[in-house]
Amino acid sequence: MIFMADNTSLILERWKSKISGIKFDPPVDYKTTFWESVRGLANKNHAFLDVGTGVGKVIFVNDLSSLYRKVVGIDIMPEMISICKNKAKEANAKNLDFKVMDAMDMDFTDGSFDVVSSMFSPVNFNEAYRVLSPGGYLVCMYSLEKDHREVSRAFPEAFSKTDSRMYKNVPDLNRKLEAAGFSVTLNNVLHYKWLFKDEETLVNFYEKITFSQAFSKKGDRLAMLKRRIDMSIPVTRVICTTVAKKT
């Protein structure tokens, strides 16, 4: 089943989501469906794996150690895993584990987990299928074509490393999941705008997520980005949260 979400179903009462000079228009929290999925699939007899965990946001924000029997986060960057391990010590959670590992070739036995999540991180669908138990679920969030389109058109070189995280459209994503053996149960697509209050805010954000210094060196291209009447810079977001079951 494919469910194309109506943005209005996730609109918050107020503009709650503000990140360092960025606000959403309409005021949707793009993480809502993702968060609800990883929590809704929780079972205290189940094991959970977060792929490309970064600083462990998926795990710690949702307090998954209290919802699953075992929670593991992996990331290819040792410094991220070090941060997560320190957080786990502070949380005093005995069922948390973090490992430096490449998600493309995971060092886990077949059927080790009941739920696998990936939030804007590259994941090998065949590997995710392998490490999931029968009937297990993959919850992933991906950019679709035209996500960040205004900025990526102006700075294509900065987005070359993130192309692997983007799919053309929902059918493209579903075909790849189904080819790996999954049955797609949910697609939640959000299409909205981010509003950056000024160029500095935009540069700081995109240099962080793309690991590129291209923006601050190309002021002429920044000047070409459109401005709203309040001089904020609108950027298109097209994001899909997908839930797929191992059949």
For 71-98, how does the pLDDT look when each residue is reduced to its tens digit (9 = 90+)?
Answer: 999 999 999 999 999 999 998 888 999 9
How far is residue 57's CA from residue 173's CA, in Å, rounded to a whole number? 24
- DSSP code of residue 4: -
Q: What is the predicted pLDDT for the residue at 117?
A: 97
Average pLDDT, the chain: 86
- For β-strands 182-196 and 22-25, DSSP reports them as antiparallel
**Bridge partners for 144 per DSSP:** 167
Q: Does residue 45 surpass a pLDDT of 80?
A: yes
How far is residue 102's CA from residue 104's CA, in Å, rounded to a whole number? 5
Collapse the DSSP code of 190 into the 3-class scheme (helix H, G, I; strand E, B; otherwise coil) and give the result. Answer: strand
Residue that wins the pLDDT comparison between 167 and 185: 185
How far is residue 14's CA from residue 43's CA, in Å, rounded to a whole number? 32
**pLDDT digits over 183-218, tens only?**
999 999 988 888 898 888 898 888 888 877 888 777
**pLDDT digits over 29-40, tens only?**
788 899 999 999
Q: Which domains does the chain have, with CATH numbers?
A: 7-246 (3.40.50.150)
Residue 130: CB atoms within 10 A of its CB come to 17
Q: What is the CA radius of gyration of the chain?
A: 18
- What is the token pair recorded at 154? 């102006």
Q: Does residue 1 surpass a pLDDT of 60?
A: no
Distance of CA 74 to the CA centre of its chain: 14
How far is residue 142's CA from residue 234's CA, in Å, rounded to a whole number? 20
The DSSP H or E segment spanning 53 is none
* pTM metric for this prediction: 0.84
